[in-house]
A and B are shown apart, each in its own frame.
Chain A
């Protein structure tokens, strides 16, 4: 078994993991009841899935062509840093613009704070 076959197996596993996590996040976005839980599903699992797909592309081009693409590394770092930040910002904007929580949620620490 040569190195290229081993790297193709690793790339295939990473791509399958990324597609699975992306499908999980879409399932969560369809099924979950309110904005905050949907944001939880979207920001975490979609980010990890996309990071693993980008890592698979980087490993593929490095093993197959010997081409070290630093932009993919920068893309991985950028998505890793900014996707949670944008999730936080949009969730805070949703709370401050008055979107209700789910009916069965039991705890809202900011309810009695005045704006």
Chain B
């Protein structure tokens, strides 16, 4: 019963990731795609937690924290690029 519950949750999360991939491909604007990619990264964290429960090992749990940090940095840099046109601003170019 427990294994069935874990497998069912994995299938459900995989279907929702397919829906997010549909939004990444079709999304009319760039922020749509960025939002869908951020949600994909967040769902990937859940997939890794469930797979480490299935495999009964805690060797992969560092990947959870790593993926959280990487998804946040990617989304912030993408938002800054969309808003200002550059990610790391150069102070000498600002006042010209």
Contact surface of A with B, Cβ cutoff 8 Å: 8, 11-12, 15-16, 18-20, 22-23, 25-27, 29-30, 35, 38-39, 42-43, 46-47, 49-50, 53-54, 56-57, 60-61, 64-65, 67, 69, 71-72, 74-75, 78-79, 82-83, 85-87, 89-94, 96-97, 99
Assess whether A93 is in contact with B36, with CB atoms less than 8 Å apart.
Answer: no
How many residue pairs link A and B with beta carbons under 8 A? The number is: 168
Assess whether A53 is in contact with B79, with CB atoms less than 8 Å apart.
Answer: no
CB-CB under 8 A for A90 and B61, given A23-B15, A26-B16, A29-B19: no
| Chain A residue contacts of B58, Cβ below 8 A | 61, 65, 67, 69
- Report the Cα distance A42→B8, complex, angstroms: 21
The interface residues of chain A, by DSSP majority, are classed as: helix
Shortest distance in angstroms between A25's beta carbon and chain B's nearest beta carbon? 7
Assess whether B83 is in contact with A96, with CB atoms less than 8 Å apart.
Answer: yes
**Other-chain contact of A89, B22, B30, B49, B75 (Cβ < 8 Å):** B75
Closest to B1 in A: A12
Assess whether B46 is in contact with A18, with CB atoms less than 8 Å apart.
Answer: yes
Q: Which of A22, A35, A74, A87 has the most CB of B within 10 A?
A: A22
**Other-chain contact of B42, A15, A27, A83, A92 (Cβ < 8 Å):** A83
**Other-chain contact of B75, A16, A47, A90 (Cβ < 8 Å):** A90
Shortest distance in angstroms between B28's beta carbon and chain A's nearest beta carbon? 9
| Chain B residue contacts of A30, Cβ below 8 A | 19, 22-23
| Chain B residue contacts of A43, Cβ below 8 A | 35
Shortest distance in angstroms between A7's beta carbon and chain B's nearest beta carbon? 10
**Other-chain contact of B68, A12, A20, A78, A92 (Cβ < 8 Å):** A78
- Report the Cα distance A63→B56, complex, angstroms: 12
- Return the CB mask of B51-89 against A: 1 if under 8 Å, else 0: 011001010011011001101100110111011000000
